[in-house]
């Protein structure tokens, strides 16, 4: 076989493997999921300022206001001060979720220009933070190559570049894990890479096991795993449901894992017709999941990286379930930030966010402006 | 532009004078057409004449159906390097006086047809003799040619220059368009009359063939013709002509001999069967004297069944020749008399290597152009490697043509450059192979299954080249391994 044949092989292999499994992954984890509900704008609109909400022009494509440690870390990157970066990491200590969030933020700073990160890695080849951030950057670069399009709309050379870049990532995760054996971060980074590289279920369970043995309630790791176990990827309805039950039931209040059930509903359970959808959102299953998520949020520390994520999911589901006063209150707490799921799963995240927000406010108006709940989680 | 006001009396006089002139020309054409010699000259035939002493069995294969048809056998047989079989007679005085009969037989047909299919083709040609086609056939053909020439003359003389749209520029005289239209109408009439006649002759000759070789075999032989023609064109184009840019040709015995190997290649049989099953793929030609093959097959199959079995022999008609290797060599050499001058005969693998190296170099062209654009002068592969070392790969990637995938990704991003790198890597591989071939470290082996040949590369070199490509394709590219592989013997000056 000549070197001519070589370059197309990985993609052909990937295509075969998909065919064998009889499905094409839609890469919903990076935002390709078709919103299962109508995106038609509501017939009425609101003036956000009249309700103490920021107007669309002031909205920010971020999950929430950046954490002070993230701000400090990014400032250190600007100064190319790797010592200061490590000082920030040390401040986070064994708050593994915070550490993962910091590594993700560092990787994001290399999206346009990775020279500072490669220089850091060249100077400190065994630095677990540099290694993990570099692996995370390879992963996000690969998924940017793939784009969030449906698999059939991704061109052959995109697939090739996706796999070529992504295949370079695992070694850095494993290296980081070897030099920082207590830190689950490299394993969490590896989860998304493993999903892109189509690791089989047992391989994936091993990686997830490495995470939860170090950080049993790591919310990002659980959300990533739920993606993997969806039928559109490498799981099934049964595997996804049992994973959600395992992840959410019997966990301490404040773990912030309860929104996984909402995430699962959003991806897999929403009915096709408007009438069925209304029944579903108002039905006991969703109501119970919302109640559990609200109780979880109330018990959680507000500085957890997953705290805003939980709020975004609740804002969406409270609105859809017709619990407008709670929904409105949730949107007040969220403020200007819309850069998280479920909004970013839409092709127009800001439009999706303001549309649902308007629905919540109008619903609250139509209900005669009932009093807003006092205790729904701490305001930000 | 000549307007109506300008086209007054002098112009009219010019037109009348031109009408006389044109009539005189047409008259000349017709008269010359009557008296011109219709002889096909020996020296015009690209082929080898074989006598009865050379090839007794072949001559008997021609004589036997001639006796059955009840006609005189040809007195000359030429073997030619075309997918064709034909008879002609150099008759005299409008075909009234019989002349010497000649036959040409295409070597590719001898190589592709079974003996019985070959008999059917020969019987078809002799069928033309039997119906006295050939004696008048030459005249018929000459009439068609003369009329076509007159039409061309009426349309205006080609000036040898071309218009902006690439069509040839014609020297036109005033009023010529109208004359040309009249001539074309006349020509169409002449052509359709002679064409109907010539097509009738073909159907009649097919009935003779079916009578001699059997209905099923005659139909199978016809099915074979477009398949053999397509295969032979492919063979000439992709194998014989492959090294022509480097002035290389196959050895004389192999010029045609390779076609036999291609026909025998097991992996080609499916393609050939598809061609046989689809005779409609033949391009229809309004002025072809033959009806469409599918119509001829249908006409044969519509005859009352004769119950004779289909010839399924594995033998080929070329086995009839007493020394097929020598004959292939002689016809192959004759074929190259004009085109082979100054070209060196080599073995198939050398030809495949030359063609493979050229193909590799050509497929790297967009990258070569991008590198030349970056340096503002042409550079070998080492130029690309230098740019990688100096951190300029991105600038070369930005100069490559945008692929479909690249347009999907945010332009200018690192993701976009990685997609461009995917387009670049096969070109780097091709460029490296071309350089390795130039150093004699990579060869191609001829393959009848794959016209591109099979690359021959030492396992350790293959492994190093793959590793070097991976290193160059890495997110942090390293040109070192590629430099070590390709320029192990130093960078050429």
B462 touches chain A (CB under 8 A): yes
Q: What number is the average pLDDT over the span A68-87?
A: 97
Q: Which of A53-57, B12-16, B88-92, B252-256 has the lowest mean pLDDT?
A: B88-92
Tell me the percentage of chain A whose pLDDT exceeds 70.
87
Q: Which of A192-201, A333-342, B293-302 has the lowest mean pLDDT?
A: B293-302
Kindly tell me the burial class for residue A103, based on how many C-beta atoms sit within 10 Å of its own C-beta (0-12, 13-18, 19 or more).
Answer: buried
Residue B11 predicted with pLDDT over 90: no
Kindly tell me the burial class for residue A241, based on how many C-beta atoms sit within 10 Å of its own C-beta (0-12, 13-18, 19 or more).
Answer: middle
pLDDT of residue B38: 46
Residue B3 predicted with pLDDT over 60: no
pLDDT of residue B407: 85
DSSP B251-304: -HHHHHHHHHHHHH-GGGHHHHHHHHH-GGGSPP-TT-SSPPHHHHHHHHHTSP
- Confidence bin at B246 (pLDDT 50/70/90): confident
pLDDT of residue A4: 36
pLDDT of residue B271: 86
Q: Which of A346-350, A368-372, B11-15, B348-352 has the lowest mean pLDDT?
A: B11-15
Name the closest residue on chain A to residue B364, using Cα atoms.
A4
Kind plus residue range of the DSSP H or E element containing B159 = strand B157-162
The SS3 of residue B475 is coil
The CA-CA-CA angle for residues A58, A61, A64, to 5°, reads: 90
Q: What number is the average pLDDT over the span A55-66?
A: 95
- Confidence bin at A8 (pLDDT 50/70/90): very low
Find out whether B481 and B468 touch, Cβ atoms under 8 Å. Answer: yes
Tens digits of residue pLDDT in B198-222: 777 788 888 888 888 899 999 999 9
CB contact (8 A) between residue A141 and residue B475: yes
A155 touches chain B (CB under 8 A): yes
- Confidence bin at A316 (pLDDT 50/70/90): very high
pLDDT of residue B108: 95
State how far the Cα of B155 lies from the Cα of B144, in Å rounded to an integer: 17
Tens digits of residue pLDDT in A223-264: 999 999 999 999 999 999 999 999 999 999 999 999 999 999
Token pair 């076989």 in the structure block, residue: A1
Q: Which of B418, B430, B433 sits opposite A165 (nearest CB)?
A: B418
The pTM for the full model equals 0.69
DSSP A32-66: -PPPSS--PPPS----GGGGT---GGG-BSSSSSP
Token pair 């995938």 in the structure block, residue: B405
Kind plus residue range of the DSSP H or E element containing B87 = strand B85-89
Kindly tell me the burial class for residue A67, based on how many C-beta atoms sit within 10 Å of its own C-beta (0-12, 13-18, 19 or more).
Answer: middle
Find out whether B401 and B367 touch, Cβ atoms under 8 Å. Answer: no
Find out whether B447 and B454 touch, Cβ atoms under 8 Å. Answer: yes
CA distances from residue B341 to B240, B244, B256, B274 in whole angstroms, order as listed: 14, 11, 17, 37
Q: Which residue in B133, B130, B116 sits closest to B68, CA to CA?
A: B130
Shortest Cα distance from B216 to chain A (angstroms)?
44
Token pair 């030459």 in the structure block, residue: B138
B25 vs B108, residue with greater confidence: B108
- Which chain B residues have a beta carbon less than 8 Å from that of A125? none
Residues 386-425 of chain B whose Cβ lies under 8 A from any Cβ of chain A: 403-406, 408-410, 413-415, 418-419, 421-423, 425
Q: Which of A79-93, A146-160, B22-36, B406-420 has the lowest mean pLDDT?
A: B22-36
pLDDT of residue B280: 58
Chain centre to alpha carbon of residue B164: 29
What is the number of other CB atoms lying within 10 angstroms of the CB of residue B351? 27
- Which chain B residues have a beta carbon less than 8 Å from that of A168? 474-475
pLDDT of residue B40: 57
CB contact (8 A) between residue B422 and residue A157: yes
Name the closest residue on chain B to residue A169, using Cα atoms.
B475
Cα-flanking dihedrals φ and ψ of residue B121, to 5°? -65, -45
Tens digits of residue pLDDT in A144-160: 999 988 888 999 999 99
Name the closest residue on chain A to residue B443, using Cα atoms.
A2
- Which chain B residues have a beta carbon less than 8 Å from that of A164? 418, 421-422, 473
Residue B157 predicted with pLDDT over 60: no
How many contiguous H segments (helices) and E segments (strands) does chain A have?
19, 0
| ipTM entry | 0.78
B282 vs A246, residue with greater confidence: A246
Angle between helices A170-179 and A128-146 (to 10 degrees): 160
Highest mean pLDDT among A215-219, B116-120, B224-228, B266-270: A215-219
Tens digits of residue pLDDT in A78-97: 999 999 999 999 999 999 99
Tell me the percentage of chain B whose pLDDT exceeds 70.
79
- Confidence bin at B42 (pLDDT 50/70/90): low
Residue B489 predicted with pLDDT over 80: no
Residue A207 predicted with pLDDT over 80: yes
Find out whether A220 and A305 touch, Cβ atoms under 8 Å. Answer: yes
- Confidence bin at B132 (pLDDT 50/70/90): low
pLDDT of residue B67: 87
Find out whether B150 and B26 touch, Cβ atoms under 8 Å. Answer: yes
pLDDT of residue B1: 43
pLDDT of residue B456: 95
A164 touches chain B (CB under 8 A): yes
DSSP character for B403? P
Q: What number is the average pLDDT over the span B31-36?
A: 49
């Amino acid at each position: 076989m000549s070197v001519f044949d070589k370059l197309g092989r990985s993609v052909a292999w990937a295509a075969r493997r998909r065919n064998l499994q009889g499905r094409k992954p839609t890469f919903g984890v990076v935002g390709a999921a078709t919103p299962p509900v109508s995106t038609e704008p509501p017939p009425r609109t609101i003036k956000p300022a009249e309700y103490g909400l920021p107007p669309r022009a002031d909205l920010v494509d971020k999950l929430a206001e950046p954490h002070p440690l993230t701000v400090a870390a990014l400032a250190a990157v600007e100064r190319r001060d790797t010592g200061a970066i490590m000082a920030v990491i040390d401040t986070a200590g064994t708050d593994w979720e915070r550490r993962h969030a910091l590594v993700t933020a560092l990787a994001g700073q290399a999206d346009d220009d990775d020279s500072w990160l490669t220089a850091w890695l060249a100077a400190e080849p065994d630095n677990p933070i540099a290694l993990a951030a570099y692996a995370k950057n390879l992963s996000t670069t690969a998924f940017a190559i793939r784009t969030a399009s449906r698999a059939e709309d991704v061109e052959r050379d995109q697939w090739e570049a996706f796999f070529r870049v992504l295949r370079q990532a695992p070694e850095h995760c494993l290296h980081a894990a070897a030099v920082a054996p207590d830190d689950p971060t490299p394993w969490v980074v590896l989860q998304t890479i493993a999903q892109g590289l189509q690791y089989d279920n047992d391989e994936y369970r091993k990686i997830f096991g490495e995470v939860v043995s170090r950080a049993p309630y790591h919310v990002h790791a659980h959300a990533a795993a739920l993606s993997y176990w969806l039928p559109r990827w490498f799981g099934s309805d049964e595997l996804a449901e049992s994973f959600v039950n395992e992840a959410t039931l019997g966990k301490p209040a404040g773990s912030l894992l309860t929104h996984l059930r909402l995430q699962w509903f959003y991806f897999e359970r929403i009915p096709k017709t408007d009438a069925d959808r209304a029944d579903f959102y108002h039905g006991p299953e969703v109501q119970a999941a919302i109640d559990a998520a609200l109780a979880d949020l109330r018990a959680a520390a507000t500085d957890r990286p997953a705290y805003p994520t939980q709020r975004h999911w609740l804002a969406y589901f409270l609105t859809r379930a017709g619990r407008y006063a709670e929904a409105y209150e949730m949107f007040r707490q969220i403020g200007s930030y819309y850069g998280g799921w479920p909004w970013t799963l839409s092709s127009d995240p800001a439009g999706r966010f303001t549309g649902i927000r308007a629905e919540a406010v109008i619903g609250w108006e139509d209900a005669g402006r009932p009093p807003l709940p006092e205790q729904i989680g701490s305001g930000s | 532009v000549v307007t109506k006001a300008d086209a007054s009396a002098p112009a009219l006089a010019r037109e009348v004078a031109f009408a006389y002139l044109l009539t005189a020309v047409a008259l000349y054409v017709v008269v010359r057409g009557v008296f011109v010699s219709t002889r096909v000259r020996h020296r015009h035939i690209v082929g080898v004449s074989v006598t009865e002493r050379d090839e007794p069995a072949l001559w008997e294969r021609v004589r036997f159906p001639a006796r059955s048809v009840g006609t005189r056998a040809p007195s000359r047989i030429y073997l030619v390097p075309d997918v064709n079989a034909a008879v002609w007679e150099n008759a005299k005085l409008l075909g009234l006086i019989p002349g010497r009969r000649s036959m040409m037989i295409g070597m590719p047909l001898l190589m592709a047809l079974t003996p019985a299919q070959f008999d059917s083709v020969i019987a078809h040609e002799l069928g033309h003799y039997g119906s006295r086609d050939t004696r008048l056939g030459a005249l018929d053909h000459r009439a068609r040619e003369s009329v076509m020439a007159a039409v061309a003359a009426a349309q205006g003389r080609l000036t040898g220059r071309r218009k902006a749209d690439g069509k040839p520029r014609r020297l036109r005289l005033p009023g010529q368009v109208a004359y040309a239209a009249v001539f074309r109408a006349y020509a169409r009439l002449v052509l359709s009359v002679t064409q109907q006649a010539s097509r009738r002759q073909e159907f009649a000759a097919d009935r003779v063939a079916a009578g001699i070789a059997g209905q099923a075999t005659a139909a199978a032989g016809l099915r074979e013709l477009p398949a053999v023609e397509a295969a032979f064109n492919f063979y000439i184009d992709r194998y014989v002509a492959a090294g022509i840019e480097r002035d290389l040709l196959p050895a004389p015995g192999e010029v045609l001999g390779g076609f036999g190997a291609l026909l025998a290649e097991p992996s080609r049989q499916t393609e050939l069967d598809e061609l046989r099953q689809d005779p409609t793929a033949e391009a229809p030609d309004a002025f072809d004297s033959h009806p469409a093959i599918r119509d001829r097959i249908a006409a044969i199959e519509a005859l009352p069944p004769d119950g004779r079995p289909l010839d399924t022999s594995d033998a080929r008609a070329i086995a009839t020749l007493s020394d097929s290797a020598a004959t292939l060599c002689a016809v192959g050499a004759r074929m190259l008399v004009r085109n082979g001058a100054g070209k060196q005969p080599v073995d198939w693998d050398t030809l495949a290597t030359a063609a493979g190296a050229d193909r590799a170099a050509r497929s790297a062209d967009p990258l070569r152009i991008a590198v030349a654009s970056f340096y503002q002068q042409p550079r070998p592969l080492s130029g690309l490697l230098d740019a990688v070392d100096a951190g300029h790969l991105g600038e070369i990637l930005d100069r490559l043509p945008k692929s479909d995938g690249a347009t999907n990704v945010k332009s200018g991003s690192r993701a976009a450059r990685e997609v461009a790198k995917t387009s670049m890597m096969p070109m780097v591989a091709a460029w490296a192979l071309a350089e390795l071939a130039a150093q004699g470290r990579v060869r191609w082996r001829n393959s009848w299954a794959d016209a591109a040949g099979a690359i021959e590369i030492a396992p350790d070199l293959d492994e190093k080249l793959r590793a070097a490509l991976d290193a160059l394709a890495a997110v942090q590219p390293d040109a070192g391994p590629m430099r070590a592989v390709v320029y192990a013997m130093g960078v050429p000056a």
